Amino acid sequence: MAKTVAATGNEAVANALRQVNPDVSAAYPITPATDIMQRFTSFVSNGKVKTEMILVESEHSAMSACIGASAAGGRVMTVTSSQGLALMWEMLFIASGLRLPIVMPVVNRALSAPLNIHCDHSDAMGARDSGWIQLWSENGQEAYDNTIQAFLIGEHMDIRLPVMVCMDGFIISHSIERIEYLEDNEVKNFIGEFRQLNPLLDIEHPVSYGPLILPDYYMEFRKAQDEVESKVFRVVLDAAKDFEKISGRKYGLFETYRLDDAEIGLVILNSAAGTSKDVIDEFRNRGIKAGLLKPRLYRPFPYKETGEALKHLKAVCVLDRADAFGGSYGPLFIDISTSLYTYSKKPILINKIYGLGGRDYLPEHAELVLNELTEIAKTEKVKTIKEYIGVRG
Amino acid sequence: MARPLSLKEISKKEVLISSGHRMCAGCGAPTVIKMVLLASDYPIIAATATGCLEVSTCISDYTAWKIPWIHSAFENAAATISGVETMYRSLKKQGVISKEIKFVAFGGDGGTYDIGLQSLSGAVERGHDMLYICYDNQAYMNTGIQRSSATPRGADTTTMPAGSVVPGKTEPRKNLTRIMAAHDLPYAAQASPSHWMDLMKKVRKAFDIKGPKFMNILSPCNRGWRSRTDEAIMLSRLAVETCHWPLYEVEYGVTKITFKPKEKKPIVDFLKPQGRFKHLFKPENEWMIKKLQEDIDREWERLQKEASLSAP
Amino acid sequence: MKLKGWGELTPGAVILEAGNAVEFKTGSWRSFRPIWKEENCIQCLFCWLYCPDMAIKVKDGKRAEFDYDYCKGCGTCALECPGKKGQKAIVMVEEAK
Ligand SMILES: Cc1ncc(C[n+]2csc(CCOP(=O)(O)OP(=O)(O)O)c2C)c(N)n1
Ligand code: SF4
Ligand code: SF4
Ligand code: SF4
Ligand SMILES: [Mg+2]
């Protein structure tokens, strides 16, 4: 029997991790993710989990210890944000390259400089090509559900990849909402026993992890990894199906909201999707066919499915809570335009950068964008492709 | 039961690092690793930092390691092994594993004194049951003999080459063994492959102590030291006999010198056969040799005093 | 050896065959060859211990032949060999070209 509680996003994720009950966790404090680990270590201190903690001296060591622990042969997780994720950068590629199914909730926060502890997506976006699977979450419920599914997905024998679960710092991590928890044993049965693959601790079968690879083989290993990525979609959908059976909640590669017959649409990640949906309802009430697509599995990116879902629209705005320096577009925009690239008939695309460093995303921002899209759909004319919104002139 | 430490006995053991590795001919490191592995009768799992040892012993699709082994990056051998060791403790507590296993990390001087010092210090403070071994060849050899904080004063390296203005490395070595001992860890020691019995005894002792242990082992590198390929053992012996590399241990705060040369040889004996010190013998650089000798005399004095204070 | 295609690789490049580096022969690196003169050998086994390439075999606690498949000819064994009455039990000779 599911239990409904009022909890913050961090609390929900900490509870998911308690229910998963990993063998080892290594962690280092950073706002706004610290709170998850504080809650989790109190489970450790009170015997609520069997987890052995490694309270490391840096995030670089946190990921390094997770890599050692995972290669040793057990279930491993850590949590981080922003600078912590940036410090792990080197090790992220090593975790995925060694094919270790480590799970890591990332509480999204801006990157320094200037120092800012509030929400944006620069941290996880910077790690989007590190070979980790990324699941993004609109609210605490999704963060909870994604965290549980992440273990099943990453540990799948066809996959064996690390998984990040992203949720918005403070906006979700520290806000109380209504959340439905599964029963402990439902989670336990859902993820199953950890299955080892070439564990270091099997001293009867000594294996070597992390060889030097010369040009004669490096490319084959990259290709093999690229192939694995292509299997992730199926596994994510299967996990979602199984998860629906125990939770009643539906998940896919992305969520569409009133998109099927839409003419204009927004593409937006995480918490801002919630605000946007309300505004879309208002536009629908006024007879304007607006819709929304919220990516969930952001890495690997389901280009084909996303393109299919968006191709019939007249105008689409991709909202990025991170910018790519160098005069480029936002990272989500680049992926969405790539997903539509192969279609001859496709929507006109624009890109808005919003909400950096914790700047509020308000209904009026969505309204502004939807009005602009209505105009573009009518005139087929675009003034500026990329623009910051909610910024002072 | 541990085998007695006689070569006749230990030569009956399987050497757990194989032939076919690609360290340079005459490199000291494989011999150091071989001695460490031979000393233990426990099953061992090892982590290795990026460096000569790592790149030459595990080149896909070949591994010279006959024990479970992991390399993840350069600065984190201690953090990596602490993860492995923690998973072992977790699974042991859960009853999944019952075997007694020992955990070792090998790092070069660059990977230990410099970029990996934080990770090592953290792992030691956390008290993991592991032995960290620095094979110290006194420079970043894998990337082509760059200066490290373990490089001795005066040595010619590719980033502090001996020139007309800069006479090689101008600073003295970092005393890492002391820094590690200052962590108040159960066991820290310095060893040399020339004194194999001393080295193996220390490894054995370390494995039988619970908690974090550190050993600093001199590992001659003919390529970087510009010496002959047959001199690794000879040079490590001279390092000990000149007290450039004193053999000692600090066990629960008690310092003991484990080998006292009958007669302390002048540092020149250690410098002479090595091309990296050649320029020091020019008249204008002789002050560097004097300084080196002073460094050594001071540290040897200090160490003896420390040992005498610890003496029962 | 035929190189494997991407579909035949182990996940994460993990090597499952412990010590398979023995398939990689390093004997061709040698320009000098150590020769064992058994008559001068006192069976101290220092050569076995110090050899960085595990290229000196020991059988039942007794020194056996060199393994020229792996010996890189560094000469460490010869330098460290005490021999008998000032006569080395290992000498280095130039490899025939
Ligand atoms: C983060 C990082 N910085 C630099 C390097 C390049 N690098 C690889 S090995 C090495 C030198 C290793 O020196 P040491 O630890 O002394 O080992 P040695 O090769 O001398 O045995 C360096 C600088 C790296 N691999 N990773
Ligand atoms: S460069 Fe030096 S340390 Fe590296 S393999 Fe060669 S001899 Fe050994
Ligand atoms: S070192 Fe010399 S004397 Fe000793 S066992 Fe080897 S060959 Fe014989
Ligand atoms: S010459 Fe070097 S590699 Fe060959 S057997 Fe002697 S010590 Fe070993
Ligand atoms: Mg070095």
> Which residues does A contribute to its contact with B (CB < 8 Å)?
23-24, 26, 50-52, 54-58, 60-62, 64-74, 76, 90-91, 94, 98, 200-203, 206-214, 217
Verify whether ligand 3 is closer than 6 Å to residue C63 (CB atom).
Answer: yes
Is a pLDDT exceeding 70 seen at residue C97? Answer: no
Q: Looking at residue B2, what is its pLDDT?
A: 66
Is a pLDDT exceeding 80 seen at residue B231? Answer: yes
Q: How far apart (Å, rounded) are the C-alpha atoms in residues B172 and B154?
A: 8
| Mean pLDDT value across residues B77-103 | 98
Q: B5-38: per-residue pLDDT in tens?
A: 899 999 999 999 999 999 999 999 999 999 999 9
- Those residues with Cβ within 8 angstroms of residue B160's Cβ, 6 or more apart along the chain or in another chain: B147, B151, B166, B168, B169, B170
Q: A174-217: per-residue pLDDT in tens?
A: 999 999 999 999 999 999 999 999 999 999 999 999 999 999 99
CATH architecture of C24-94: 2-Layer Sandwich (3.30)
Q: How far apart (Å, rounded) are the C-alpha atoms in residues B14 and C57?
A: 11
ipTM: 0.98
Give the closest residue (by CA) to ligand 3 atom 6: C47
Q: A74-119: per-residue pLDDT in tens?
A: 999 999 999 999 999 999 999 999 999 999 999 999 999 999 999 9
- Phi and psi, residue C17, nearest 5°: -100, 95
Ligand 1 atom with minimal separation from the B150 CA? 16
Q: How confident is the model at residue A325 (pLDDT cuts 50, 70, 90)?
A: confident
Spell out which residues of chain B touch residue C95, defining contact as CB-CB under 8 Å: none
Do residue A52 and residue B89 have CB atoms under 8 angstroms apart? yes
Comma-separated ranges of CATH 3.40.50.970 domains in chain A: 3-247
Ligand 2: lining residues by beta carbon, under 6 Å? B 23-24, 27, 29, 52, 56, 137, 141, 221-224
Is a pLDDT exceeding 90 seen at residue B137? Answer: yes
Verify whether ligand 3 is closer than 6 Å to residue C87 (CB atom).
Answer: no
Is a pLDDT exceeding 70 seen at residue C47? Answer: yes
Distance from CA of B165 to the nearest CA of A (A): 38
Is a pLDDT exceeding 60 seen at residue B1? Answer: no
Q: How far apart (Å, rounded) are the C-alpha atoms in residues B65 and B58?
A: 8
CATH 3.40.50.920 for domain A255-388: yes
Is a pLDDT exceeding 60 seen at residue A345? Answer: yes
For residue B107, list its beta bridge partners.
B134
- Phi and psi, residue B285, nearest 5°: -110, 5
Residues C49/B7, Cβ–Cβ less than 8 Å: yes
Q: A23-74: per-residue pLDDT in tens?
A: 999 999 999 999 999 999 999 999 999 999 999 999 999 999 999 999 999 9
The full length of chain B comes to 312
Q: How confident is the model at residue C26 (pLDDT cuts 50, 70, 90)?
A: very high
Q: Parallel, antiparallel, or unpaired: how do β-strands A24-27 and A52-55 relate?
A: parallel
Burial per residue of B53-64, b for 16 or more beta-carbon CB atoms within 10 angstroms, e otherwise: bbbbbbbbbbbb
CATH class for the region spanning B12-310: alpha beta
Q: Looking at residue B312, what is its pLDDT?
A: 72
Q: B259-269: per-residue pLDDT in tens?
A: 999 999 999 99
For residue A389 the two structure tokens come to 């919104």
| Mean pLDDT value across residues B148-176 | 97
| Mean pLDDT value across residues A326-348 | 96
% of chain B residues with pLDDT over 70: 99
Q: Looking at residue A229, what is its pLDDT?
A: 95
Do residue B67 and residue C18 have CB atoms under 8 angstroms apart? yes
Q: Which secondary-structure segment (H or E) carries A53?
A: strand A52-55
Which of C51, C80, C81, C84 to mutate for ligand 3's pocket (most ligand atoms within 8 Å of CB)?
C81
Question: Model pTM greater than 0.90?
Answer: yes
Residues A217/A178, Cβ–Cβ less than 8 Å: no
Do residue C12 and residue A160 have CB atoms under 8 angstroms apart? yes
Ligand 2 atom with minimal separation from the B137 CA? 3
Residue A217 touches chain C, beta carbons under 8 Å: yes
Average pLDDT in chain B:
97
CATH class for the region spanning A3-247: alpha beta
For residue B214, list its beta bridge partners.
B132, B188
Comma-separated ranges of CATH 3.40.50.920 domains in chain A: 255-388
| Mean pLDDT value across residues A266-276 | 98
Q: A153-168: per-residue pLDDT in tens?
A: 999 999 999 999 999 9
Do residue A220 and residue C16 have CB atoms under 8 angstroms apart? no
What is the residue whose two structure tokens read 């005498």?
B308
